[in-house]
Amino acid sequence: MTTERTLVLVKPDGVARGLTGQVLARIEAKGYRLADLRLLHAERAVLEEHYAEHRGKPFFEPLVEFMLSGPVVAAVVEGDRVIEGFRSLAGTTEPTTAAPGTIRGDLGRDWGQKVQQNIVHGSDSPESAEREIGIWFS
Ligand code: RTP
Ligand code: MG
């Protein structure tokens, strides 16, 4: 067993489309556990810290603006190899080409400048997970 924690966000498009329940149901159905859960309107400072690795990239500001456009759901999800497992469940970044069976592949169809509308975020490493959980659940 490699029990880990990851930070999952249901992004504003997912919340606005009423997909929160489906996302959480897929997480639980796979066998992961919700350890903490919040619905909130993110602050700019939180988002700039969360996406710090992307600062300076052309999509940074539009991404932050998009994340400010409506409420998000933040969850701490726990389980055996959950970091990789959730990213596999989420699918690749672009919903149009994400594999069917994944959250992004089944529930999204955006690409190009709208790729920010990809329903969920999941931490990409144990270090990112602990950093991001600290930002969203301090
Ligand atoms: P995430 O961090 O959200 O779980 O997704 P990811 O690892 O698949 O994608 P990442 O490269 O970390 O990018 C973070 C988010 O930024 C948006 N993005 N826009 N316009 C663009 O070229 C572009 N590239 C990335 C996406 O919303 C992505 O989820
Ligand atoms: Mg990422």
pLDDT digits 0-9 by tens, 85-111: 999 999 999 999 999 999 999 999 999
Q: Is 118 in the pocket of ligand 1 (CB under 6 A)?
A: yes
**Residue 77 confidence class, pLDDT cut points 50, 70, 90:** very high
Catalytic, 121? Answer yes
Residue 91, pLDDT score: 98
Q: Which of 41, 50, 54, 121 is catalytic?
A: 121
User: Which atom in ligand 1 lies closest to the alpha carbon of residue 118?
Assistant: 27
Specify the pLDDT at position 120: 98
- Residue ranges per structural domain of the chain: 3-136
- Closest atom of ligand 1 relative to the 113 alpha carbon: 20
As a whole number of angstroms, the distance between CA 75 and CA 89 comes to 15
Has 30 been labeled as part of a binding site? no
117 Cα to the center of ligand 2, angstroms: 13
Residue with the nearest Cα to atom 17 of ligand 1?
Answer: 116
Which among 71, 8, 63, 9 has a CA at the least distance from the CA of 40?
71
Ligand 1 atom nearest to 122, measured from its CA? 4
Q: How many CB atoms lie within 10 A of CB 123?
A: 23
- Alpha carbons within 13 A on the beta-carbon side of 74: 21
Look-up of token digits 């400010």? 68
From edge to edge, which strands make up the β-sheet containing 3-10?
A: 33-40, 72-80, 3-10, 120-122
Class of domain 3-136: alpha beta
Write the DSSP symbol of residue 108: -
- pLDDT tens digits for range 2-22: 999 999 999 999 999 999 999
Written as one string, the DSSP assignment of 55-102 is TTSTTHHHHHHHHTSS-EEEEEEEEETHHHHHHHHH--S-TTTSPTTS
Q: Residues 51-75: what's their mean pLDDT?
A: 98
| pTM of structure | 0.97
Q: Evaluate whether 80 touches 2 at the Cβ level (below 8 Å).
A: yes
The whole-number pLDDT of residue 82 equals 98
Query: 115 CB under 6 A from ligand 1?
Result: yes
